[in-house]
Amino acid sequence: MAESGLDSLRSHRPIDVTWKAYELRPPEAPPLSEAQKEAYRQRIKSGGNRSQEHARTVFGLEMKSGRPGTSSRLAHQAAKWAISQGQGDEFRHKVFAAHWQEDRDISQLETLREIAKDCGLDPDAMESAVNSGEFLDQVLSEEGEAMEYGIGGVPAFVFAERYLVSGAQPPDVLVRIADKVVEELQKQEA
């Protein structure tokens, strides 16, 4: 019996993944006209339906549509703080679950405080770091990197700092791409 894409990822050798901040509609983006807002909502809704079906079929995961237009900037800053506390993966996982499964507003500091507490982190320290802007430059720098790569949507994957894969992809596709990149890099080193 063929292994599923998810099983293939689990049995594959570990791949170093670095999460980077990216906002679909950062606060500085020019305002949209009503027609542009409606077109944006429809595009997100259409993509969301495909993503929900993909999550259900491939991963057995039920997703909600999320909150279109939610600013993720505070969540990105809070995630950078959580990384500095050694809890980046757990915090990020809980932010994703809050947004995509629990329909919670991750643009609200109170939601992020609750997530920090659920991770065993100090919510007051997280709030202080976010309010001080301690991680804002890092978030903005990563968003600048995304622009340099030409990223215009999520998810996006950059392999070996030069191969861009955009959009939700089945796990077996990502495994094949990772294998191909490793093979190409090994040939270059030889």
pLDDT in tens, 105-141: 999 999 999 999 999 999 999 999 999 999 999 999 9
C-alpha–C-alpha distance, residues 144 and 121, integer Å = 29
Residues 105, 79: one domain?
Answer: yes
For the chain, the domain total comes to: 2
Predicted structure pTM score: 0.79
pLDDT of residue 48: 67
Residues 141, 169: one domain?
Answer: no
pLDDT value at 2 more than 50: no
Residues 187, 136: one domain?
Answer: no
In a domain, 173, yes or no: yes
Which domain does 116 fall in, by range?
Answer: 64-149
Q: Which residues of 119-135 are buried (b: 16+ CB within 10 A; e: fewer)?
A: bebebeebbebbeeeeb
pLDDT in tens, 8-47: 445 555 667 788 998 887 888 888 889 988 887 787 777 6
**Is 122:84 a contact under the CB 8 Å cutoff?**
no
Chain mean pLDDT for the chain: 84
In a domain, 15, yes or no: no
